Structure formats: structure tokens, C-alpha cells
Chains A and B, each alone.
Chain A
Amino acid sequence: MRIRTVLLISLIFCCVAFGAFFRPDVRPGYGVTGIGWLSDYFTPFKGTNMDTPIYFMDSGVAGPTFLLMGGTHAREISSTTAALVFIENAIVTKGRVIVMPFSNISAVSIPDQMGSAPHFIMVETRSGPRFLAYGDRRTDPADQGEPDPVVFKHAQSDFTLNDGAEARNLNRQYPGLADGNSTQQLAYAIIEMIKAEKVDFNLDMHEAGTPDKYVDSSGNVRSGSSLAYTLVCHPDALEIGAVTIMEVEAFYGVSLKLEESNRAFRGLSHLEIRDATDSLSFLSETPNPGQDTWRENPDVMYDEAYPLKHRVALQLQIVLSLFNAYEMFMGETIEVIGVPTYDQMMREGLFEFLN
């Protein structure tokens, strides 16, 4: 109990001591060859709560460059946790992997505004207790630089959403604006990084509600989320996505749905990153009970059907299968050791792979 208290106080102290900028707990493994910041590509972010660390894992052997993004929506913790497992365990032996575990770090710095999960969740890792951050879907309003509009409008199109708070949703802003609000600038900075680093393909990891049916307050049976267990692909990347999900299903028994980016729905990473850069874009969705509005006390960590272990293992297996599928169509790919397969993590546990 005492260790937990000290850890939590240290975490809070770090936030306060460094100008209230949220700095996450990442414990890189030997595979990390360099650490940078998003502000290296967009200097206005330097020293702000929008700047986020980027981890480079370079094999030194010629090959493609892959970007793995977690924390676009900071409450979707299979994404941030899978990115941490990758950083802390993977050794890249061909090509280069760039990992941005907390893409919208401002959103990580505040608790989930729509759910009930605690902001920090203590877990026992292979090196002792540690906290995972469960943040919000959107940028902290204090970091946005302007109030939410009544209606959100995508900067580069006429696409609108009635919820003005979506102006703080990173995954509605791509390709972003250099002189826009903070979330638009964040999308712009990520695009600049992808261009500068010549990223060949990328995966933006997400979570959705579970597919479970439920009974609403009127007694009607409702379908659960149709988004979970999905791999969304840019039209240029659809064949690679098709092979990816077939491998995950055939070898690991988890069926995923393949979806193609909808050109009518603007601002999303899987569509706009590829349109704005040379990088083939993918987006994965795992089921998080914490995003089911109908659940009274969702367990975001140890739910019987959708434990975090299953969700993180699936995210990482999608990454590994994506590497295999990429090679099938592009002739070469990333080679990596140390990343647990889906079966391995389900067997050995998630926290065994966190430092």
C-alpha cells in the first residue's frame, strides 16, 4: 500500500514539477534506439501539454518504416498498452518502427469524461507495481486554445458533426492545420512527422464498445457496437488488410471485420494520412467494456469476455500479421522479435510484458 501511495504521489509530483505537462510512464527496452518528440516536427508544441514522446526502433538494416500509434483516444487503453508492450519488448531486426504511444497526450492527462474508470490504474508488472493512465477521448479543453464550437466542421471539407466537442477529437482533424487550434495542430504535426520520417505504413490503434447485445431502459433488445473487432483500411491498403485479418483468424481464432475508409466521413487517420502522405494507413478496433454506455460497472481491466489482456494481445497480433501481409504485397517488411503473439500473451499474461 505504501509503495502504491509513493508511486501515485511521484506521478502527480512529476506532472506538477514539469509545468503541469503530463509525462507518461514509459520504460523502454533494448530495442529502442532513439527518443524524440513530436515538437521536433512542429516546434510550437515544445514545452506544451500537446508535445508527446516518440520512440525509434531502428534495426540498422534497410527495410520499410512503420508507425504504430496508440492513445489517439486516451481512454482506449488497449492502444496505449500495446504500444508500451512493443516499446518495452520488441527488437526490430529489419526496417524501422516508430512508436507514438500517447498520440494525444493532452487527452491522457485528464480522466475519462464519459466513463467511470479511474484515471490511473495500478497493475503488478514483472518489475513491480505501475500505473496505466486511462484518459479521455479528446484534448483537455484547457489545452485547446479556444472554446468548442456549436457544430464541428472539418477544416478541409464541408463535413460537419453536431457535437462541437469533436473539435477536440484528434481523429476528426487530419490532415490538420498548422495555424489551427491545438488538436488541428496535433494532426498537422503527426502528418509532418510521417512525411519527414518517410513512413511506409502505419496503424492507429483504437477501441470501441463491445458487440454484446443489451436491453435498453424501455426493455428493447439493442445490438452492441459494430465497430469492435474491425480493421479499417485506406482503399489503397485494403488487400493488405484482407490478408492481415485472414491470418489473425486462421491462426489465432479471432475474427475481425474488414472495412474500407468512407470518403464521405472526413478527418480520420485511415483515410487522410494516406491521402496526405505516401504512408498506407490502417486503424484497428478492440472491444472495451468501458465504452458501453449501458454497463453499470464496467471492468476495463479484467472483464470476463473482454479483458485488457485479450485486447492488447489482439492489437499486437494485428501488428505482427500486418507485417506479414505487407511483405506479401510489397516484397519486404519489418522483421521483429520479442513481441508476444496473441496466443503467447493469452497464455503468459499481459503484465509479464511490461517493465
Chain B
Amino acid sequence: MFFVSTGLALKDPGDDLRLEGPFLVTSGGQSPGALQFTVIAKMVNIDYTFERLVKVGEVDISKFKTFVVVVGASGKGLGAAGIDIDVEINRVVELAKLAKANDLKIVICNLEGVSRRGVSSDRIVTALAPFASVYFIKTDANEDGFFTELSKEAGVPLATFDVTVGLKDVLAEFVEKPN
């Protein structure tokens, strides 16, 4: 299924993809975008655990149904964490492999727009692309069609939103509410 939305008016994504909680949320690149994701997740009552530096071996992945990587390479963030971009890519790719093996849905998210497009951020996205179940992307990060191409190649949905808080509506559409 291929699906693109613009801004807040989403079409029904259908039964092909429903995201279930609990979510495991991490950063891919250590920008504050992942924290912004959790603020919005709270607004729509998603059950999540946020671990910005979680590694394979430190998490019981079977407790989760969805794995979210909020991508945004930040020199400051990586520096503060004492890691470089290669270590960071390896960390999130290993987590994605584990998540895939455990049948979690994998969300690749750009929440900070074009300010988090660049060589390092794009390397993270490209490394994670084989594992993606869906892309949630701020519109101005996709002006060159980078995420459109990736979603087409993999045949997975792409949902876009014009303003950061628009992610709330995307999540509301994709996340299955508990009975």
C-alpha cells in the first residue's frame, strides 16, 4: 500500500497498517526531535517508553508492539552522548533488526523538518530504510522527494504533516485504540 497525506487531512490508511502500543521510542541522531515525539504521544494517550540511547541487550523488545526512530542528527546531541554517527547508526540498525525479528512495526519519523536533513541524518534514514513499516515526515523535510522515493521503493506508507503538532493527527489515524 502506498499512501501520502498532506497536512492534517488524512485518508484512512486502511487495515494494512495499524500501530499498536506500547511504543519503544528512541532518537536516531540525538536531536531533541524524539522528545518532541513523546510530548505529542502524550497528547494522544499513546503508551510509550522513551530511551534516547537504548541498545540491543538493554531492552526487552517483546514488551513492545511498535518501534519508533525519530531521526535527526545533532552534533551537540551526539557529542553530549559521547558517541559518533557510525556508532549511532549501528545502534539504531541493530535495534531495528531486533524489532523486525520480533514482528514490531517500525516507524521512521522526521519531526524537525528540513533542519534535520543533511548528510548524517540521511545516512541514518537510509540505513533504517530496509526495516521501515511507515514514514511519518514533516513536509518541508521531503521537498526533494527523498522520503517519497524511499516509501515507493519499499512499498510502505508515507504520512506527512505541515507543522510539528500535526503529527498528533497522523498518530490518531494510524494508532489502534485499545478496547
Question: Does any Cβ of A come within 8 Å of B163's Cβ?
Answer: yes
Closest chain-A Cβ to B53's Cβ sits at a distance in Å of: 13
Chain A hits for B140, CB < 8 A? 255
Chain A hits for B22, CB < 8 A? none
CB <8 Å contact, B165 and A264: no
Question: Does any Cβ of A come within 8 Å of B156's Cβ?
Answer: no
CB <8 Å contact, A242 and B80: no
Q: How many residues of B contact A (CB 8 A)?
A: 20
Closest chain-B Cβ to A247's Cβ sits at a distance in Å of: 8
CB <8 Å contact, B165 and A242: no
CB <8 Å contact, B165 and A250: yes
Question: Does any Cβ of B come within 8 Å of A263's Cβ?
Answer: yes
Question: Does any Cβ of A come within 8 Å of B36's Cβ?
Answer: yes
Chain B hits for A247, CB < 8 A? 165
Chain B hits for A332, CB < 8 A? none
CB <8 Å contact, A257 and B165: no
Chain A hits for B40, CB < 8 A? 246
Q: How large is the interface on A (under 10, 10 to 19, 20 to 34, 35 or more residues)?
A: 20 to 34
Question: Does any Cβ of A come within 8 Å of B9's Cβ?
Answer: no
Instruction: Kindly report which residue of chain A lies nearest to residue B115, judged by CB atoms.
Output: A257
Q: Which of B32, B36, B80, B163 contacts A264 (CB 8 A)?
A: B80
CB <8 Å contact, A258 and B32: yes
CB <8 Å contact, B112 and A258: yes
CB <8 Å contact, B77 and A260: yes
Chain A hits for B32, CB < 8 A? 233, 238, 241-242, 258-260
Chain B hits for A262, CB < 8 A? 76, 79-80
Cα A242 to Cα B164 in complex, Å, equals 10
Cα A255 to Cα B170 in complex, Å, equals 19
Chain B hits for A242, CB < 8 A? 32, 35-36, 39
Instruction: Kindly report which residue of chain A lies nearest to residue B76, judged by CB atoms.
Output: A262
CB <8 Å contact, B164 and A249: yes
Question: Does any Cβ of A come within 8 Å of B113's Cβ?
Answer: yes
Q: Which of A246, A259, A260 contacts B165 (CB 8 A)?
A: A246
CB <8 Å contact, A258 and B79: no
Closest chain-B Cβ to A211's Cβ sits at a distance in Å of: 9
Question: Does any Cβ of B come within 8 Å of A15's Cβ?
Answer: no
Instruction: Kindly report which residue of chain B lies nearest to residue A263, judged by CB atoms.
Output: B80
Q: Which of B77, B112, B163, B166 contacts A257 (CB 8 A)?
A: B112
CB <8 Å contact, A255 and B36: no
Chain B hits for A260, CB < 8 A? 32, 76-77, 80
Contact with B along A221-251 (1 / 0, CB 8 A): 0000010000001000011011101110110
Contact with A along B96-112 (1 / 0, CB 8 A): 00000000000000001
> What is the interface of chain A, defined by CB distance below 8 A to chain B?
226, 233, 238-239, 241-243, 245-247, 249-250, 255, 257-260, 262-265
**Top 8 A-B pairs ranked by shortest CB distance?**
A262-B76, A258-B32, A242-B36, A246-B165, A250-B165, A242-B39, A249-B163, A257-B115
Q: What are 9 A-B contacts defined by CB distance under 8 Å?
A: A239-B35, A242-B32, A243-B39, A249-B164, A249-B165, A250-B166, A255-B164, A257-B112, A260-B32
Beyond A226-B115, A258-B112, 16 additional pairs, beta carbon < 8 A: A239-B39, A242-B39, A243-B39, A246-B36, A246-B39, A250-B163, A255-B163, A255-B164, A258-B32, A258-B35, A258-B36, A259-B76, A260-B76, A260-B80, A262-B80, A264-B79
